[in-house]
Structure 1
């Protein structure tokens, strides 16, 4: 127990001593909240121009989370930097010497990073919701409406899971540049293209971001063949697979 506590303390020290890592969490909060407020305000101004069908499927909760698509970039960066900093500086050798049980080392890093990512994710999600609804004015909703609290709580989970997925991929690739080069195009180009092209939309529906973001919607637009919790479970499966693969690479390859 004492040994595990020491490892947890060590991982916390590593994360907080690298300013760029913590700045990514701050950026995730600021970007998500600010963009969500801006888009909510613009939607409020243009609401009268919406068609009857668009008004019937209008989801004020999901509108307030519009900034998540960009804010998740910072969460991806956090997940990458938490893992890759040790590889880029060569500190991983010292870490593995001090903690030869690689599962313990990985587990400790996951505990600290998950706690931080979920804390910031939840704070971001609730701030985004309340400030976004304030911008929507008379078109807003509140936490007491059916499905809204689930969506807001799910938004925080989504942000945290994005960071964990990025950590698993980075453990596999062991390079910050390669991880950024794979994850950024995947989330901001490939995923959107696959989900919006008729020939590939069935594949796109089951990618981690497309499935996970369903948890933040209250109104079912009929575009996904599953509900919000099933979508989150699909995302959890992706995260578990990436972490398992990352552990296999960490276990089998030299530092």
Structure 2
């Protein structure tokens, strides 16, 4: 089967499964709505902030406050895209139709990545503009230094979270096992390692903490992180490439 036909087949699979459509819709709604809420609360509390907090205030990053929950939906999307075929038993038919396993998985990931990026782009720009509207007089402009980079970075971050989840799902194959590892990793382990002084230097190199730097315009006080926004995104890309390599290797080396 030609690569173009494989891509069309994977696109049909993704759009025909309601769960993947709903998770992407939820990612948009949750990220934008929570970002608007946090931005509105921040505007109301701005007057009571300390001088230091006002100087370090990052209106762009505030509008992305909903990203922490929005990424949950992107994780679910990434897992379901890959593992649904294993849980339903369709993987045997898919591999019979596309015996070249590298082509099969790369086509699936390519289509899902493009879709995740488009959704992430819409989400990131919507979160920014609506969040800035909620901030009122404390807002920033898309043309200010570093802001456009941060907004595009938000889309890249959401995309990479989804692709990372695809790689993990390709290795583990089970949706429950994949989510059972990814959810605690991003929402518990990463937070603990990043906030405990003894492990903080390790936690800053985890994919989510490193990747989120791309969405920051103002560097917080006392932030001694040894990399900048693009460096953090680069670290996240390395994590993603590592799990994808693991997924490709295991798909080639074991039975369906």
Answer yes or no: same fold by TM over 0.5: yes
Report the Cα offset of residue 5 of structure 1.
1.1
When normalised by structure 2's length, the TM-score is 0.98
CA distance in 1, matches of 2:89, 2:237: 31
Query: Are residues 1:229 and 2:230 paired?
Result: yes
Report the Cα offset of residue 107 of structure 1.
1.0
Number of corresponding residues: 254
- Give the superposed CA RMSD: 0.7
Matches within 5 A, 1:1-255: 3-221=2-220, 222-255=223-256
CA distance in 1, matches of 2:164, 2:132: 29
- Structure 2, unpaired ranges of 5+: none
Report the Cα offset of residue 170 of structure 1.
0.4
Report the Cα offset of residue 209 of structure 1.
0.2
- Structure 1, unpaired ranges of 5+: none
Q: SS in structure 1 opposite 2:227?
A: coil
Report the Cα offset of residue 226 of structure 1.
1.0
The C-alpha deviation readout for 1:69-121, integer Å capped at 9, x for no partner, is 00000000000000010000000000011101000001110111011000000
CA distance in 1, matches of 2:213, 2:12: 35
Report the Cα offset of residue 130 of structure 1.
0.1
Report the Cα offset of residue 224 of structure 1.
2.1
Q: SS in structure 1 opposite 2:2?
A: helix
Report the Cα offset of residue 31 of structure 1.
0.2
Report the Cα offset of residue 223 of structure 1.
4.6
CA distance in 1, matches of 2:44, 2:213: 25
